[in-house]
Amino acid sequence: MTNQTALTKVKFSSWDLDPSILTAISKKGWEYVTQIQAEAIPLARSGRDVVGQARTGSGKTAAFGIPTIESTEANGNLQALIITPTRELAQQVADELQWLQGDKGLGIITVYGGTDVDKQAKKLNDGVEIVVGTPGRIIDMSKRGHLKLQTISTLCLDEADRMLDMGFFPDILWVLEKMENRKQTMLFSATFPEEVLEAANTFITDAEHVMSDDLEVDIPEIDQMHISIGRANKLWALGRILVNMDDDDQMMIFSNTKRMVDLLAQRLSKFRFNAVGLHGDMPQNKRGRIIDSFKDGSEKILICTDVAARGIDVDGVTIVVNYDLPIDVESYVHRIGRTGRMGRKGTAWSFVSSEDKGQLKKIAATWNLNIPESEPPALPKGVDRDPVRKQQDWEEVANNFGMVPVKISIGRDQGATNHTLTNWFSNEAKLDQLAIGEVSIQDDSSEVEIHLDKVEAVVKVMANRVWNGDSVNLEIRR
């Protein structure tokens, strides 16, 4: 059920919308418009250009979709183009427009890579009114003469800040140049960095901006926590989160590399978790199958790269895990925004290694967020063993020089000096002097820094040694 707080008191029926749209909307069970819809739809219907910013999961698709459908006629001419950063999002937006138009009879097709070029060309040549696609294939189809950018009057960029960043901006400029008859332009996203708004001003003038004051990004009510954990034990912590999942939970696990997505999928299946991976190097038909099975709920756990960070709307997603902390700060907002949609509740866990602390601070400061530290959830009742065993993680206890402080139960009172203790370690454990860092002697104990590559072996060996007739106790300081 949707939370009423996500909706305004304005009813769709209070607008004189195209009857086919109104019928479709009421069939779907929608009654009230969301905040962004309340503000952006009337502006867009009046023909204005709109730059719309609103939180993740607040109904931006319909905010540009409804006016686009309304202003498009079923006459066989291509009139509107919607560009998204990923194929999965293009498909989702096209699906939403398809049901929103009801029986209006517009041809709405997707144009993205990894699909049959000839089939796509044929569909375009047969005459369609709205194209939803990704930049690469749109340009390709235009160059081949199947997609006539010249006739299009409406352009929407979904996830507009992504479409206008360095990666996509040249493609978008290419498309813009060919759209000689562009009359209306709409840009939508949850995040709009200042420089993106400046870039937008180069090709739209006089747009109405529907956004929060001072670009403050509004984040849905999602419980956000971070777990301080090194690489070696991320899988253990993930295991804890996974064993705590309920039957009606769905989870997205984000990693920064395609390789890690594959690896994680493999590892999780070894630990008997049913999870599927999704990234941009997979064949398109497989990508399609996987996102469909996640959307229909038959798959509960999706491991993915940022290919699924933006726009993907699966209302069952209750938990997001940043297995790797995202590299750019926008990505954090979009990733966690896969949960908590339309006022629903959500939980977001971020795994933060000692190396990532600075990035976490930057994310929290940029969006004015509190992301408190937490232990991983405890094992649920009735489960007495971790699905993944915890390991000793030397990297996490080492300092910046890779040194791990080892506390030893020998000090001045036992006759230890800096020199004798260093020698004793290097002789007994056959250690290179470079593997020993600072040594500090106290009365009845000392601390010796050992390089993380050696510390495991040293602790093992030295625990059985005797110092001047006394047995020795070694301990890693955390």
> Which H or E element spans position 440?
strand 436-441
- Residue 447 Cβ vs Mg ion, minimum distance, rounded to whole Å: 54
Look up residue 211 and give its two tokens. 């956004």
Q: Which does 376 bind (CB under 5 to 8 A by kind): Mg ion, ligand ADP, none?
A: none
Cα separations in angstroms, 427 against 112, 309, 441, 454, 474 = 65, 53, 19, 14, 17
Three-state DSSP class for residue 116? coil
By CB under 5 A, what part of segment 184-243 binds Mg ion?
none
* Cβ-contact 41, 69 below 8 angstroms: no
Measuring CA to CA, which residue among 346, 347, 371 is closest to residue 359? 371
- Residue 98 Cβ vs ligand ADP, minimum distance, rounded to whole Å: 12
Binding residue for ligand ADP (CB under 6 A) from 24, 30, 336, 344? 30
**Nearer Cβ to ligand ADP, position 57 or 326?**
57
67 vs 43: CA distance, rounded Å? 9
Q: Taking CB under 6 A as the rule, does residue 8 contact ligand ADP?
A: no
Buried b (16+ CB within 10 A) or exposed e, 69-90: bbbbeeeeebbbbbbbbbbbbb
Amino acid residing at 326: P
- Count of residues making up the chain: 478
Cα separations in angstroms, 213 against 54, 128, 190, 259 = 12, 39, 13, 40
**Nearer Cβ to ligand ADP, position 56 or 353?**
56
Instruction: State the residue number with the nearest CB to ligand ADP.
Output: 59
- Strand residues in 40-183 grouped as ranges (E): 50-53, 80-83, 108-111, 130-133, 154-158
Three-state DSSP class for residue 345? coil
Look up residue 158 and give its two tokens. 């979904």
By CB under 6 A, what part of segment 342-361 binds ligand ADP?
342
Q: Taking CB under 5 A as the rule, does residue 60 contact Mg ion?
A: yes
By CB under 6 A, what part of segment 213-272 binds ligand ADP?
none
- Residue 30 Cβ vs ligand ADP, minimum distance, rounded to whole Å: 4
Look up residue 476 and give its two tokens. 């890693």
**Nearer Cβ to ligand ADP, position 61 or 86?**
61
Q: Which does 34 bind (CB under 5 to 8 A by kind): ligand ADP, Mg ion, none?
A: ligand ADP
Binding residue for ligand ADP (CB under 6 A) from 10, 40, 44, 62? 62
Instruction: Return the ∠ at Cα 475 (arms to 473 and 478), rounded to 5°.
Output: 165
318 vs 101: CA distance, rounded Å? 30
The interface mask with ligand ADP, positions 280-319, x = CB under 6 A, is ---------------------------------x-x----
Question: Total binding residues for Mg ion by CB under 5 A?
Answer: 2
The interface mask with Mg ion, positions 302-321, x = CB under 5 A, is ---------x----------
Q: Taking CB under 6 A as the rule, does residue 186 contact ligand ADP?
A: no
**Nearer Cβ to Mg ion, position 287 or 338?**
338
Q: Which residues would be at the binding site for ligand ADP (CB under 6 A)?
A: 2, 30, 32-34, 37, 54, 56-62, 313, 315, 341-342
Q: Which residues would be at the binding site for Mg ion (CB under 5 A)?
A: 60, 311
